[in-house]
Structures are given as C-alpha cells and as structure tokens.
Amino acid sequence: MKTQAALLIAAGVCAEGSAANPIRKVVTLIQNLQKKVEAEAVSEEKLFNAFMCYCKNGVTSLEETISSNTGKVPKVQAAIEGAEAKVKQIKAELEQHKADRKATEASSEKATALREKEAAAFAKFKSDSETNIAAIEKAVAALEKGASGSFLQAGVRSSLRKYVIDKAELADVDRDLVMAFLQGGDQYAPQSGQITGILKQMGDTMVAELKDATAEENAAVANYDGLIAANNKQIDSLTAAIEKKSVRVGEVAVEVVSMKNDLKDTEKALIEDQKFLADLKKNCGTKEAEWAETCKLRSQEVIALADTIKILNSDDALELFKKTLPGSASSFMQMQSRTESTRARALSMLKAAEANVKPARRSLDFIALALSGKKVGFEKVIKMCDDMVALLTKEQGDDDKKKEYCDKQFDIADDKKKGLEQSISDSEKAIEDAEETIATADDDVKALTDGVKALDKQVAEAGEQRSAENKEYKDLMASNAAAKKLIGMAKDRMNKFYNPSLAGAELVSIREHDGAAPGPPPAAPKAYSKKSEESQGVLVMMDDLVKDLDKEMQVAEVDEKNAAEEYKQTMSDAAAKRADDQKAITDKKAAKADAEEALQTHTDAKASGTKELAATVEYIGSLHGECDWLLQYYDVRKEARTSEIDALGKAKAVLSGADFSLLQTNNLRGRK
C-alpha cells in the first residue's frame, strides 16, 4: 500500500506542470487512497471476524469430539474384553455340550448292547423254561393216568434230567428219586404219587421263575425304553444347544471384529482430531497476531496519508505552491521544446505499447504520466523505466515458476485422482466378491447342516430298520428251529408207532447241543395194525417241510449276513460323510469369517479412498481457482511484458540520448 501511495504521489508530482493546480490532484489521489484503505479495513475485518468465529466454533466442536472419543475408548476396550471372554465361555460350553452329547450317545449304545444281551438271555431262559414246563406237564399227566417212566420220550427225559441236575432246587432224596424215575424202565412203579408231587412242585417253581423273569424282562424293557427316550431327548436338546451356540460364537466373533474396527477408527480419529485442534489453535493464534499487526500498520498508513493531506492542503502550502509552481521562463523555451520533443517520442512509444497490449499495464501509465509532466527530470524517468523493467522481469519469473508449479501440481493431482478412482473401483469389486462369498458360505453351511441333520435321521432310521430286520431274522430262525423241532418230534412220534427202529433219529440234528444222544427207546406194544403206507406219505411230507425250512433258514442267514455287512458299510460311509460335512461346515464358516474380515477391510479402504478422492477433487478445484487465470492468460501476459520491456527500452534509449543533448546544452549555457 505504501508503494502504491508513493507511485500515486510521484505520478501527481510528475503531472503538476500540465495543470493549473497540480497539488490539488495529488491531494485528491491521496484522499482516494485513504478511502480505499479504510474500505479495505472494513472488508477485511468482516473476513477476520468470520475466521475467528470459525476458530471458536471449530475449537469447541473438536474439544467436545475429543472428550467424547476419549471417554469412548476405554468403554469400547472393556466391551471388547467382555465379548472375547464371552466367546471363550461359549466355546467352553460348546465343548461341554459336545462331550455331554457324546457321553449320552455312548450311554445309549452301552444300554442297547446290554439290553440285547439281556433280551437274548431271557429268550433262551424262556425257551428252556417253556420246554421244561411242557415236559413236566406231559410227565405229570401220564403219571396221573398210571403210566410208568417208560412213556417219556428220549428228548423229554433228557431235558428233565438236565434241569434236575443243573437247576432244580430239590432235596437230595427227591433229586435221587426223580433221577431214578427218569432212568427207570417198565419195571419201575411210582410210590404214592411221590414223583408226581415232586414234578408238580418243579413245574410250579419253573412257572413262577418264568413269570418273575418275564416281569423283570418287561421292567427292563420299560426302563431301557425310558432311558433311550430320555437320552434321545437330551441328545436333541444338546444338539440344538450346540447349533445355537455355534451360531452365537460366530455372531460374537463378528461383534468383536466390529468393535475392534470401531476402536481403531475412534483412536485414529482421536489422534487426527488432537493434531487438527493443535494446528487450528496455532493457525488461529497466528492469524490473530497477523491481524493485530495488520491493524497496526493500516492505522499507521491512514495517519500517514492524513498527515500528508494536511501538509499539502494547508493554506500556507497552497500559497507556496502558487509561487513555486508557475510556468517556465521564456529563456528556456528552446531547451523546453527539445525536452518536450524527447518526452513526446518516449511517450508515443509507451502509448504504442499500451495500444498493442490488452489489458494495458497501469505502471506504464505512471511512467507516461511522469513523461507528461514538466518537473520530473529524465534521469528519474529512466530510473523508473529501469525499475519497471526489473519489476516486469521479476513478475515474468514469478509467472514462469507459478506456471511450472501449476502444471506439475495438476499432473500430480490428476494421477492421484485416477489412482484413487481405480483403488475405489477395486475396493467395490472386492466388496461385491466378499458379499457374494459370505452369501455363498451361508447357503453352503445351511445346505451342509441340513444334510447332516438328514443324514443323522437316515442313520437313525437305518438303525431302526436294521434292528427290525435282525429281530425278524432271529424270530424267523427261532420259529423255524422250533418248527423243525416240532416236526421232528411229530415224525419221531410217528416213527415210534410205524418205524420204532427210526424213533429218536430225527431229533439228533436239532439237538446238537443237548449232549450225547440217549440209546434207542424201548419197543412199544404192537396191538394195533399199522397204516404204514399212509404214514409213509405223511413222513415224506414232513421231510419236505423240514427241507423247506432249512432252505428258508439258509436264505435268511445269507440275507442277514449281507444286510449286516451292508449296514456296517453304510454306517461307515455315513460316518465318513458326516465327518467330511462337519469339516466342510467348519471350513465354510472360517471362509465366511475371512470374507467378513475382508469385507470390513475393503469397506474401510473404500471409505478412506472416497474421502481422499474428495479431498483430491477439492484440491484440484482449488488449483483451478489458483491457476486457471494464469494458465489462460500466461502467453498474453508474457507477450504484454515483452512488449512493455521493449517499449521501455526504446523509451529509455530515447531519453538517454535526450539527456546527452541536454547535458551539452547545459554546458554551453554555463560557459555563457
């Protein structure tokens, strides 16, 4: 501002010789400058007040945000620790549920194995008891009709003898008596129904034992069914808990990741806010100091201008200027004419430069104004030309540096903008891929989980089917064996009548585990004429039936063996598939967790890139505001300066020549 005021004053002084009251023009220029300074003060004060308002609000807002985030950090850290502890707790509970389910399944398997063993023992006991009871009933019935021990079949006698020896709770005397009865022949005659009583007692004991055993078996079956039902219910409950807590582990893990990201963002924002607050306070303090210095300098400038106006505008000064600033004496007319000619030539060169350069430069106006005046010497104008050339050269250098800076910054900012746009595009693609991976993993986990449930259901159904088939096989084998035994007994019974020499032979094959076969039975009376031919057809039919039963049993045995092997292989395959599916579920969940982590990372990267891109675009906008005018008018400004420098050079050359002539003239005048 001081430089501008000085130039204006110099211009006024240079122009004083061409006006009636040149000092008035100077005063007017200074007054206008004073008004401009005061107007700028008002405008800049508004800007300063707005800036300080921003500082105050910004500091308050940042301090509130910093305080909020400072309090938030320990809370989020505590929440993370709590969530991580919760994950550990849920995992521990999950492992306990799995162990409990495995123990319950093992309990069911153990109970099933024990139940099958007990059921087999009861079936054998029941079969033996029913056989022995039937034999005793036949023996008692025969004895009550007066028959002797010879009536007993070899098989019945053998069964009773084995029972009496191994199991019957009898006094030694009674046991000996019964054994004698069972080993006796036709000569044995029972005494006073003693054997009958003993046999009835034995039969009653066996019936009671069978009844008790049946009750115990029914109770054991009921207990087993209750245990299995309870275990199945507990297994279902544990399975549901395992599934629920498995999902919960994933959810809490995601919450932990989210809270850690939140903590990281909060800590980062806290650091950035603290740094920005420090910078803001520093910048605001600097701006406040600058404003104080500006106000001080402006006040000094206004005072200086006012004092100058006061000096130039006083009555004494005006009176003095009237005396000291009149027109030149006539003795100098010739020299003034030459000077005027030189001034005119230099002025015409500057005017020509102003005409050729748009917009014209105001500094040329000041030099032209000086040339138009009468009181300013050429040496001062030449110095003004030199100063102007130096100024133009410096300005051109500044424009060159500014242009180079602008070009470089535009290239850097544009490259950065393209890189950020590509990075954001890559992040968006990665986000889409991660979301697709998560969705696919969810679908795969659901499908695999449903598959495992369906497989478990199929395994259970297959187990039930295998148990039913095995029971059906055992029932078939038992019933066929009983049928063969019954046919053998019937055939033996007929052979006793029709073929006494063959009696008992048919029972050997179905009593392989009854010990050594007894000797042939005694011959029966031949009071009746046998129907040998008719009986032979019946016996043949019985043989055919036994063959059919044997064939059916062989087929059933092969089918049972094949079914057992198929079931074992199916269970093995199912176990392998279940293990593979469970591993696949774990892998899918791990992949989902990785995808969720990647999604968060790419989302953060996209947000950061978007923010940085916005800042870059804003920076490019500021570059346009700073550089567009210079880049647009760079060539014009350069050409204008070149023309001005050329015009100033020519004017200086003219003036330098004029000074030489003027010097010679002054020397001649001095000699005169």
Q: How far apart are CA 271 and CA 284, in angstroms?
A: 20
Q: What is the pLDDT of residue 161?
A: 72
Taking residue 558's Cβ as centre, other Cβ atoms within 10 Å add up to: 10
Mind listing the pLDDT tens digit for each residue in 467-501?
A: 888 888 888 888 778 777 767 776 676 666 556 66
Q: How far apart are CA 427 and CA 602, in angstroms?
A: 5
Residue 240 Cα distances to 359, 443, 457, angstroms: 87, 19, 15
Please give the structure tokens belonging to residue 596. 């969720």
Choose the weakest-confidence range: 33-47, 170-184, 412-426, 656-670. Answer: 656-670
CA dihedral (489, 493, 494, 500) positive or negative = positive
Rounded mean pLDDT, 2-28: 47
DSSP 672: -
Residue 69 contacts by C-beta under 8 Å, 6 or more apart in sequence? Answer: 266, 269, 270, 273
Q: What is the pLDDT of residue 484?
A: 75
More confident residue, 356 or 267: 267
Q: Is the per-residue pLDDT at 571 higher than 70?
A: yes
b (16+ CB within 10 A) / e for 375-397: ebebeebbebbeebbeebeeebe
DSSP 505: G
φ/ψ bin of 225: left (φ > 0), alpha (ψ from -120 to 50), beta (otherwise): alpha
CA dihedral (245, 246, 247, 248) positive or negative = positive
Please give the structure tokens belonging to residue 145. 């009709």
Q: Is the per-residue pLDDT at 651 higher than 80?
A: no
Place of tokens 């605001």: 284
Rounded mean pLDDT, 235-252: 88
Residue 73 contacts by C-beta under 8 Å, 6 or more apart in sequence? Answer: 263, 266, 267, 270
Mind listing the pLDDT tens digit for each residue in 146-204?
A: 655 454 555 566 767 777 776 666 777 777 777 777 766 444 455 547 778 888 888 88
Q: Is the per-residue pLDDT at 587 higher than 80?
A: yes
Cβ–Cβ < 8 Å for 388, 641? no
DSSP 500: G
Q: Is the per-residue pLDDT at 580 higher than 80?
A: yes
Residue 371 Cα distances to 62, 266, 345, 531, angstroms: 60, 69, 10, 172
Q: What is the pLDDT of residue 354?
A: 56
Please give the structure tokens belonging to residue 551. 């064939």
Taking residue 666's Cβ as centre, other Cβ atoms within 10 Å add up to: 11
Cβ–Cβ < 8 Å for 48, 292? no
Q: How confident is the model at residue 219 (pLDDT cuts 50, 70, 90)?
A: very high
Q: Is the per-residue pLDDT at 327 higher than 70?
A: no
Q: What is the pLDDT of residue 113?
A: 93
Helix axes 22-144, 315-324, angle to 10 degrees: 120
Q: How far apart are CA 263 and CA 85, in angstroms?
A: 17
Taking residue 203's Cβ as centre, other Cβ atoms within 10 Å add up to: 18
DSSP 150: G
Q: What is the pLDDT of residue 629?
A: 86
Q: Is the per-residue pLDDT at 660 higher than 50?
A: no
Cβ–Cβ < 8 Å for 544, 487? no
CA dihedral (433, 434, 435, 440) positive or negative = positive
The DSSP H or E segment spanning 480 is: helix 378-498
Please give the structure tokens belonging to residue 310. 């006061």
Cβ–Cβ < 8 Å for 223, 54? no
Q: How far apart are CA 73 and CA 44, in angstroms?
A: 42
Q: Is the per-residue pLDDT at 18 higher than 50?
A: no
Q: What is the pLDDT of residue 147?
A: 55
Cβ–Cβ < 8 Å for 132, 206? yes
Q: How far apart are CA 156 and CA 181, in angstroms?
A: 13
Q: How far apart are CA 83 and CA 252, in angstroms?
A: 7
Q: How far apart are CA 515 and CA 327, in angstroms?
A: 170
Q: Is the per-residue pLDDT at 362 higher than 50?
A: no
Cβ–Cβ < 8 Å for 566, 497? no
> What distance separates the 2 farthest-apart alpha carbons in the chain?
206
Cβ–Cβ < 8 Å for 202, 170? yes
Q: Is the per-residue pLDDT at 523 higher than 50?
A: no
Rounded mean pLDDT, 109-129: 90
Q: What is the mean pLDDT of the chain?
A: 75
Q: How far apart are CA 546 and CA 541, in angstroms?
A: 9
Residue type, 301: E
Please give the structure tokens belonging to residue 558. 């092969």
Taking residue 493's Cβ as centre, other Cβ atoms within 10 Å add up to: 13
Choose the weakest-confidence range: 40-44, 73-77, 307-311, 597-601. Answer: 307-311
Q: Is the per-residue pLDDT at 120 higher than 90?
A: yes
Rounded to the nearest 10°, the torsion over CA 385, 388, 390, 396 is: -140
Q: Is the per-residue pLDDT at 526 higher than 70?
A: no
Choose the weakest-confidence range: 181-195, 468-482, 521-535, 543-557. Answer: 521-535
Q: How confident is the model at residue 117 (pLDDT cuts 50, 70, 90)?
A: very high
More confident residue, 380 or 606: 606
Number of helical H runs and strand E runs in the chain:
10, 0
Rounded mean pLDDT, 88-107: 91
b (16+ CB within 10 A) / e for 464-491: eebeeeeeebeebeeebeebbbebbbeb
Q: How far apart are CA 57 and CA 67, in angstroms?
A: 15
Residue 584 contacts by C-beta under 8 Å, 6 or more apart in sequence? Answer: 444, 448
Q: What is the pLDDT of residue 17?
A: 40
More confident residue, 325 or 70: 70
Please give the structure tokens belonging to residue 291. 């404003």
Cβ–Cβ < 8 Å for 139, 152? yes
Q: How far apart are CA 309 and CA 326, in angstroms?
A: 21
DSSP for 86-97, please give it. Answer: HHHHHHHHHHHH
Q: What is the pLDDT of residue 137?
A: 83
SS3 content of the chain, % helix, strand, coil (to 5): 90, 0, 10
Q: How confident is the model at residue 271 (pLDDT cuts 50, 70, 90)?
A: very high
Q: Is the per-residue pLDDT at 507 higher than 50?
A: no
CA dihedral (281, 286, 289, 294) positive or negative = negative
Q: Is the per-residue pLDDT at 55 higher than 70?
A: yes
Q: How confident is the model at residue 99 (pLDDT cuts 50, 70, 90)?
A: very high
3-state secondary structure of 350: helix
Cβ–Cβ < 8 Å for 301, 65? no
Rounded mean pLDDT, 131-138: 82
Residue type, 485: K
Q: What is the pLDDT of residue 416?
A: 86
Q: Is the per-residue pLDDT at 325 higher than 70?
A: no
Q: Is the per-residue pLDDT at 329 higher than 50?
A: no
Q: What is the pLDDT of residue 188?
A: 45
Cβ–Cβ < 8 Å for 270, 70? yes
3-state secondary structure of 50: helix
Q: What is the pLDDT of residue 662?
A: 43
CA atoms within 13 A on the CB side of 317: 13
Q: Is the per-residue pLDDT at 214 higher than 90?
A: yes
Q: How confident is the model at residue 522 (pLDDT cuts 50, 70, 90)?
A: very low
